[in-house]
Structure 1
Amino acid sequence: MTHPASATLPLLAHTKPDAVVAWRHDGPVTVERFLGDVERLASSLPAGGHVLNVCADRYRFTVGLAATLVGRKISLLPSTHTPETVRQLQMFAPDTFCLTDSPACDIDLPQHHFIESPVAASPEGGAVPMIDVDQVVAYVFTSGSTGTPMPHPKTWGPLVRNIAAEADRLGLVDKPFTLIGTVPPQHMYGFESTVLLALLSGGAIWSGRPFYPADIADALAAVPRPRVLVSTPFHLRTLLSAGTEVPPADLVVSATAPLSGNLAVALEAQLQCPLIEIYGCTETGQTATRRTAETAEWQLMRGLALTVEDGKVWAHGGHVETPTMLSDIIEPTADDRFLLHGRSADLVNIAGKRSSLGYLNHQLNAIPGVVDGSYFMPEDEQTDGVTRLTAVVVAPGLDRATLLQALRERVDPLFLPRPLIFADALPRNATGKLPRAALEELRRTLGGSE
């Protein structure tokens, strides 16, 4: 969709200067204070046109994002901040600088440090900045087949439409709410659902990023209701198994990997509220939702449609301006509904039998006594011409024979892991995902036997 050159949309949906836009450990932050912080930071940013915003405090990240928008700079959102990724970012945008709130930041880029001001002067007139709908807000990066990050531009207009559809689906329109996120704001899911959702729907942000169950409980207790916990299956499963007493939420949102129906039911009971899953990808943004405790079907976001051509599924309409092929195995069941059968890249074919890593992981983690576990296909995936799967598992109370027997009751023997590796913990990243390189390193370190 094209827009008139003059088309703009506001940075904030909040209509009053004393409305709360964030909660920090020392109390609420009003729109007036936020806009003052944004103006102060925007006036001090370096000349570079691209920003790697690594602020860990979610409020500071949000101020940095807004200042970047006001200054017509572009945020870079890679999946990691490894030295190699940073080098590749420099090649993509040589004028990139790093915005950080950590004195110990070791990212090899020109650094601009976020410095708190005891009092932020209010911007003249207190006007909410207007952003051009065609302005590129961010480049979100996915790993290409060569390992080089592939940029996907996100412009303001489609992002605003995406968030409006999300707020409508989650029932957050025209009501105050506070978002507590266990995911980093630099990840596309965290960017959309813990930052933009608050700014563009009149909600508030909790500035911290709780990780452990006790931290999540403390964060929920620190903000008023209604409160929304934005998390991942890994964090939610850990929260449930910890047995920590958690204040009730009003909504739980989950993404990055599918949840089982049983886990969703248990989480709804513990947190005393509905749990909604979001399905999406970097290329399309948020695409569909489901209430997992009640149905396996996903419902497309407002305005979106799916088209199947030659066995491939394309998303289009709504905030997806260009038809985009989805990398998942999708079975449409109605005009706006579908079933998800895993990622195309996760398909496994052994001796003519097919399964998916997602299905195998679900069966592994459903075994009583398994705290965490994951299958993966090693780089040297064939031995004597036979494909071998590896699994890494955290199961302190189980031995190898017991675990393998339990797996035999759930999966075809061809899909038993060879080797099965026991570990104290899995090397999950901030969004609960398991980087392939970390799994390979764990395999090399711990070995394992068949």
Structure 2
Amino acid sequence: MVLARLSLAPGRARRTRRLALDPASIRRITVSLIASELERFRQCSVSPETWLGWGDDLGLDERGIGFDSLALLDLCTATNEFFHLFESGVEDYLFVRRTLGEWVTVIARGLELRADHLGFRTSGSTGRPKLCVHSMRGLNTELQTLGEILPEATRVVSLVPPHHIYGFLFSVGLPLHLDIPVIDARGIAPGALARQLTAGDVVIATPFLWNVLLRNIRQWPEGVTGVSSTAAMPMDLTETLKAAGLSRLVEIYGSTETAGIGWRDDHAGPFRLFPHWRFSTDERRLWRDLGDGSPEEIPIMDRLERLGEDGGFRPAGRLDQAVQIGGTNVYPARIAAVIEAMPGVSRCLIRLDGNAENEAAIRLKAFVVPDKGQTIDDLEQRIRQELAQWVSAVERPVRYSFGTELPVNAIGKDADW
């Protein structure tokens, strides 16, 4: 299917609207931000059963859910960054208002005054997490395309957090754009979810979550569409989902830095650029139309192999997976591969370990999943000894953690530990 030929089927024309966040959407995003910051503060997960019970009178300080003064400052900063409240000048009210309901009111007022940008943080899987700013105009341009790709949508059922860009676009932006309802299904058991699904539902998940759903839902209701992003969708998983009755599976290619770039619903075929993107002569960049005819050149994370002249492409690996340690380019994926090749090691994940404000203290850390039956008593020492033979000092992790599975976040991407 060629994107340029997409159009709504006769009789399916519907009203679309310019992206403007309503109080319900603001509340859902804010709850997700608070839960994420609370997990980081407590160093443990916050279950949906917890945040589903949060009312507007929820206190955000130590007398409420437990943020101390410094953690509350971090939460205010994260919220300000996401909604860009400094553009309207209301950000200081977050520091004096201390309940969830008051925060929603402050944010809504700020967006009424000015709503030009939103900020999304990366997961940090290829380096330190960073803030990526997107214009509302650019997000609205993408939503127009997503509405054409999913003309069958009558309801969105989301399993991903709305404060991540993927979750925002599909569980906040798309329902508002198409004027259709949304269900936040993160707190619904798979069996109960299957009983609630109906034709016209579009389920938003990640490859990790699709695998969980497949293990619990053996037969999908007729007319349900799936959307997947954040990582490559395995071909066998796609085929098994369709064999189980999933009507259609749309895979979105993009990143926090770029938002969506392309899509496909034939997983044996290439991705196709969204119509507001076009290739550049520089393989490290793409051109994006902001919606008013003014293009901007955007750096991309992967090398894209062009296929044909109609915008087809395949991701062909990261352009640069390097991180800086002591002024030296270090490649975490390469070091992880060296460790995974060692006897007794099943999986390995490497990340930066250190304070972003103290560059001299930044080194690498490793999370290792041992082979079944392998004890960890001497495994760390053996890894350190073998690694010293293969990589330089700055490339060696200074801290090791062990577990039965690699840590992942709420959308199935590599998580910090």
1:288 aligns with 2:283: no
1:27-68 CA-partner distances (Å, limit 9, x unpaired): xxxxxxxx9x958999xx9xxxxx9722589xx99xxxxxxx
- Larger strand proportion of the pair: 1
C-alpha contact 2:220 2:244 (8 A) present in aligned 1: no
Cα distance change, pair 377–293 in 1 and its aligned pair in 2 (3 A): same
1:303 aligns with 2:303: no
Cα distance change, pair 40–143 in 1 and its aligned pair in 2 (3 A): closer
Cα distance change, pair 394–333 in 1 and its aligned pair in 2 (3 A): farther
- Listed as ranges, the gaps of 5+ residues in structure 2 are 1-12, 36-47, 53-69, 103-110, 324-330, 341-345, 355-363, 376-389
TM-score (norm 2): 0.58
Query: Is the partner of 2:280 in helix, strand or coil?
Result: strand
Amino acid at match of 1:179: V
Once the two structures are TM-superposed, the CA of residue 210 in structure 1 deviates from its matched residue by 4.1
Match of 1:270 among 240, 244, 258: 244
Alignment of 1:405-420 (within 5 A): none
Amino acid at match of 1:325: P
1:178 aligns with 2:155: yes
C-alpha contact 2:249 2:265 (8 A) present in aligned 1: yes
1:189 aligns with 2:162: no
**Residue equivalent to 1:159:** 139
**Residue equivalent to 1:392:** 368
**Residue equivalent to 2:313:** 338
Match of 1:230 among 199, 204, 213: 204
What's the % identity of the aligned pairs? 19
Once the two structures are TM-superposed, the CA of residue 87 in structure 1 deviates from its matched residue by 6.1
**Residue equivalent to 2:224:** 250
Match of 1:427 among 388, 404, 407: 407
1:96 aligns with 2:91: yes
Amino acid at match of 1:435: A
- Listed as ranges, the gaps of 5+ residues in structure 1 are 1-12, 17-34, 46-50, 62-80, 100-107, 116-130, 349-354, 365-369, 381-387, 402-413, 439-450
Match of 2:288 among 305, 311, 316: 316
Query: Is the partner of 1:245 in helix, strand or coil?
Result: coil
Query: Is the partner of 2:162 in helix, strand or coil?
Result: coil
Q: Relative contact order: is structure 1 or structure 2 higher (C-alpha 8 Å, sep ≥ 6)?
A: 2
Once the two structures are TM-superposed, the CA of residue 324 in structure 1 deviates from its matched residue by 0.7
Amino acid at match of 2:131: M
Structure 2 CA distance, aligned partners of 1:15 and 1:181?
22
**Residue equivalent to 1:123:** none
**Residue equivalent to 1:375:** 349
Cα distance change, pair 163–114 in 1 and its aligned pair in 2 (3 A): same
Amino acid at match of 2:272: Q
Amino acid at match of 1:392: V
Match of 2:98 among 88, 107, 111: 111
Once the two structures are TM-superposed, the CA of residue 287 in structure 1 deviates from its matched residue by 1.0
Query: Is the partner of 1:308 in helix, strand or coil?
Result: coil
Query: Is the partner of 1:346 in helix, strand or coil?
Result: coil
The alignment of Structure 1 onto Structure 2 pairs a total of residues equal to 311
Cα distance change, pair 314–149 in 1 and its aligned pair in 2 (3 A): same
1:325-345 CA-partner distances (Å, limit 9, x unpaired): 112122222330111123334
